Structure 1
Amino acid sequence: MSPLACSLLALAALFAATDALFPNPYCSFLEMGKTDGYPQDNEVDFTITVAGGYITIPDRCTRPGNKLVGQSISVCNAPNSKPEIIVPLRTDYRRPNFGSLYIHCPSGFPGCDRLEVHVWQYCEMVIM
């Protein structure tokens, strides 16, 4: 490998390490349920655009033989503000509610009327 290629590879690794140490200050992140140990072919990722407030996240895992067991959510409003992801209270704690969230983003800030919510859903095979 040429010295230039080695330098570029080292620089890319440095940027990746910096991003891991210093997350984006304009993003919120939330994990719910089981989020580890799933093969990539049994994960679904998608983006929805919302204006904040109460939102409904569709279940893209539920199909014959699968069920939704966890999800990760990220929402950003760079460089204006940091939206807050709030999970509404539930009375049934045995079954997490993956579909209902509240995103608080002050209406006075630019970008709060059009937020991109990135969702990763983790699916598990149903064993009968």
Structure 2
Amino acid sequence: MSPLTCSLLAFLALFAAADALLPNPYCSKLVLGKQTKDFIDFSLTAPGGVVTIPDKCSRPGRRLVGELISVCNVPNSKPTITQAIQSQYDIKPNFAMVNIDCPSNIAGCDKLDVHVTEYCEMVTAPH
């Protein structure tokens, strides 16, 4: 391969890597709890407002300990996502509900792409 071709390929690789690091201007994310090596990825479509996120981690011997939730409305707008408050006395993260703010007069806000990564942890029974 010629030096010019090698240089061009190296430049294209750097450009692609730099582009991958830029955040999507049409997406927001919310991180709750902690991240572990044991996780489950899934997607759902939801309108704006309060959205219930299903718990796909919890089962006997395993529990949900964290979430990374991103919501996108490409190419129309950037919705915002916040933790939905159950009560003022609830101090632990509410993994089940989030509030997505996306004005109804903007195209796509009735069908938002929501990507969820749920982080799981093994639980040991008392001895």
2:57 to 52, 61, 71: 61
Q: Distance in 1 between matches of 2:58 and 2:79?
A: 28
1:74 to 70, 74, 85: 70
1:43 to 24, 39, 43: 39
Q: Distance in 1 between matches of 2:118 and 2:14?
A: 27
State the 1:17 CA deviation: 2.6
Q: Look up the SS of the partner of 2:110 in the other structure.
A: coil
After superposition, the C-alpha distances for 1:40-63 in whole angstroms (9 at most, x for unaligned) are: xx2100001001111100000001
User: What is the CA RMSD across the aligned residues, in angstroms?
Assistant: 1.9
Aligned residue pair count: 121
2:101 to 100, 104, 121: 104
| Larger Rg, first or second structure (1 or 2) | 2
State the 1:27 CA deviation: 0.5
Write out aligned runs for 1:15-54 (5 A).
15-20=16-21, 22-35=22-35, 38-39=36-37, 42-54=38-50
State the 1:8 CA deviation: 4.5
What is the one-letter code of the residue matched to 1:103? I
Change beyond 3 A, Cα 1:63–1:78: same
What is the one-letter code of the residue matched to 1:14? F
State the 1:14 CA deviation: 3.1
- Matching residue of 1:11: 12
Q: Distance in 1 between matches of 2:40 and 2:10?
A: 30
Q: Look up the SS of the partner of 1:71 in the other structure.
A: strand
After superposition, the C-alpha distances for 1:68-103 in whole angstroms (9 at most, x for unaligned) are: 00000011111111101021233220x211011110
Paired-residue identity, %: 50
- Structure 1's consecutive aligned runs of 4 or more residues displaced over 3 angstroms after TM superposition are 2-10
Where does structure 2 lack aligned partners over 5 or more consecutive residues?
Answer: none
